[in-house]
Amino acid sequence: MKDKRILLPLLTALLLTVGFEIGLELANVSRFILPKPSLVLKALSENWPWIFANLKVTVQEAIVGFGLSLILGVGLALSYLFLPQLEPIIVPLAVAIRNVPFVAIAPILFITLGYGQTPKILIVMIVSFFPIMANTAAGFQSVNKYQLERFTVLRASRWQLFTKLQLPTALPFFATGVDVAASNIIISAIVGELLGTTQGLGFVILMSVSQFRFALLMAAVVVTTVVSILLTWFFQIATRNLFKKWL
Amino acid sequence: MNAVTTENLNLWFGNQQVLNGITFAVNKGEVVAFLGPSGCGKSTLLRVLGGIIPKITPARVEGKVYLFDSPLEETKAGAIDLMSQEGSLLSWRTALENTQLGMEILGRRNHRNKAQELLQKVGLNGFCQRLPRELSGGMRQRVALAATLITQPELLLMDEPLANLDSLTRESMWQLIEELINQNLIKTALFVTHSIEEAVVLANRIFRMSSCPCRIIEDVPVEIPRPRIKSNGALDPSCLELANYLRAKIRGDQ
Ligand SMILES: Nc1ncnc2c1ncn2[C@@H]1O[C@H](COP(=O)(O)OP(=O)(O)OP(=O)(O)O)[C@@H](O)[C@H]1O
Ligand SMILES: [Mg+2]
């Protein structure tokens, strides 16, 4: 069962690769438009040390940004669970921040924070804290009415209500938030890098475009996709296992 | 001693009056059934007695409620417990852990053995480690019942506790509840039901309620000796008689 879930997508990917190889060969497509998989593979292996060094930079930004967004998202959800009067301040502010076109404010970010990893981490954070906050908060609100009533009748303390009812109820929602957020962290980091950087996968992409090295570009794209999927999977499986009891 | 007393209890949700001068006194050890049309305010009344309204559900409440002769707000934690028709079990806790919850909340110790004992009493020996989703509806309500008994509440409130069960399962629950009443594990209890038979089998008194805004229109004593369910599962003939009498009356109200 589990083998099938991994094996089938791999097989599909393999078939697609072979299909592209043959198709592009037969149709005689220029390698400046769409390079054949074999060329991409060649570019990948030739440039692997360089790609890998930049990959590490991007993954680092993604994971640090994600970690911070977990703290921020859960922290905000908790803060207005315990201080409901904060909700009308925090939620609209969070929505606003989430919707800021960071492409437009990138120059400000780079001037204030430099061209290093910090602004990218910030962008990852802006993109991923919101689903975590919103889902966790929705989880706190989803407490079963009958259970809440019984806790009230038993005169549970605020802390008991939180630890024994609200928190366990919210865990599956939090896990969903993590899924949604995790699937975007690599992309956000790369978008950040495309706006201005000297390292990371975004830099690899920028360089290969400016030098017309399309096989290298495709290699970077493939690496990005694969790493993004793997990271999403990793966080999904990690939360699933961590919160098994509550899901 | 009176277990529950209300004096001219009136309640409004916004402009809608739901309780209309509810006055009654229930003695310690009595089991009272509330029987009335849907939407009349039975659950609302139970929620007021449990301190849920107006604490977490806003409403305008006038009148007085006493539990064991002191005002509702002054009763000690653990004096009351509530059982609903569904969903009061925590899905991530096993039957045993669900049974222990009340003790944890009250900060009382040594509850594991007691929980096991109670689960055995409600016929769930061997199901201690099951999660709610791994139990049938009837079994879940048995756990819910055990969970309310562990803290030995002076007053047990039950809002249609058996409404979601099929009739055979429900009748086996009647038998169980009768046993628990006889063993004094269920002390004073107020419960809401739509089943006239259930009221007649379980209660010492039946309060017939009017439609919304609800009043008590009749206080019917049920003086049929227990057990009212024979060992072969048949109801005592006097139960059927009283049920028919009540059914005719309720028809007459409409
Ligand atoms: N939280 C609330 N806010 C506003 N109105 C409410 C609320 N709860 C109940 N009501 C209203 O109060 C009336 C009585 O509701 P209640 O649930 O007490 O009836 P009930 O007798 O328990 O009905 P049923 O037998 O169907 O369970 C209904 O008209 C209902 O719409
Ligand atoms: Mg009701």
For residue B9, which amino acid is it? L
Contact A150 B88 (CB under 8 A): yes
d(CA B171, CA B176): 9
**Chain A contact residues (CB < 8 Å to B):** 144-156, 160, 164-165, 168, 245-246
- SS3 of residue B188 by DSSP: strand
Residues of A in contact with B78 (CB under 8 A): 154-155
Distance CA A90, CA A129 (A): 13
What SS3 state is found at A25? Answer: helix
How would you list the strands of the sheet with B31-35, edge to edge?
B80-83, B155-159, B188-193, B31-35, B205-209, B216-221
Would you call A153 and B102 a contact, using CB atoms and an 8 Å cutoff?
no
Structure tokens at B81: 């417990």
Q: Which amino acid is residue A27, in one-letter code?
A: A
**B55 Cβ under 8 Å from any chain A Cβ:** yes
Residue B73 near chain A (CB below 8 Å): no
Q: Which residue has the CA at smallest separation from atom 4 of ligand 1?
A: B13
How many Å lie between the centroid of ligand 1 and the Cα of residue B42?
8
Q: Catalogue the long-range contacts made by A154-162 (C-beta closer than 8 Å, 24 or more residues apart).
A: A154/B77, A154/B78, A154/B80, A154/B81, A154/B102, A154/B105, A154/B106, A154/B151, A155/B51, A155/B77, A155/B78, A155/B105, A156/B105, A158/A82, A160/B104, A160/B105, A162/A81, A162/A82
| Nearest-by-CA chain B residue for A149 | B52
Q: How far apart are CA A229 and CA A221, in angstroms?
A: 12
Q: Does residue B157 sit at the A interface (CB-CB below 8 Å)?
A: yes
Radius of gyration of chain B (CA): 18
Given the CA of residue B53, which atom of ligand 1 is nearest to it?
1
The H-or-E segment that residue A45 falls in is: helix A37-46
Q: d(Cα A20, Cα A36) in Å, to the nearest integer? A: 7
Question: Which is nearest to B192 in space by CA: B27, B49, B57, B67?
Answer: B49
The pLDDT value recorded for residue B59 is: 93
Give residue A1's pLDDT. 52
Residue in B9, B16, B34, B43 to alter for ligand 1 test, most ligand atoms within 8 A of Cβ: B43
Q: Is residue A61 within 8 Å of residue A120, measured between CB atoms?
A: yes
Closest CA to A214 of A16, A15, A30: A30
* Architecture of the structural domain at A35-242: Orthogonal Bundle (1.10)
Give the integer Cα–Cα distance in Å for B31 and A194: 73
The pLDDT of residue A109 is 84
Q: Which atom of ligand 1 is nearest to the CA of B14?
A: 4
Task: Compute the distance from residue B13 Cα to the ligand 1 centre, in Å.
Answer: 9
What is the ipTM for the molecules in this complex? 0.94
What is B2-79+154-253's CATH number? 3.40.50.300
Burial B97-123, CB ≥16 within 10 A → b, else e:
bbbbbbbbbbeeeebeebbbebbebbe
Ligand 1 mean position, distance from CA B17 (Å): 10
In tens, the pLDDT along A72-119 reads: 999 999 999 999 999 999 999 999 988 888 778 888 888 888 888 999
Q: In chain B, which residues have pLDDT < 50?
A: none
Helix axes A185-194, A201-210, angle to 10 degrees: 50
Whether residue A144 and residue B92 make contact (CB cut-off 8 A), yes or no, is: no
Segments in chain A below pLDDT 50: none
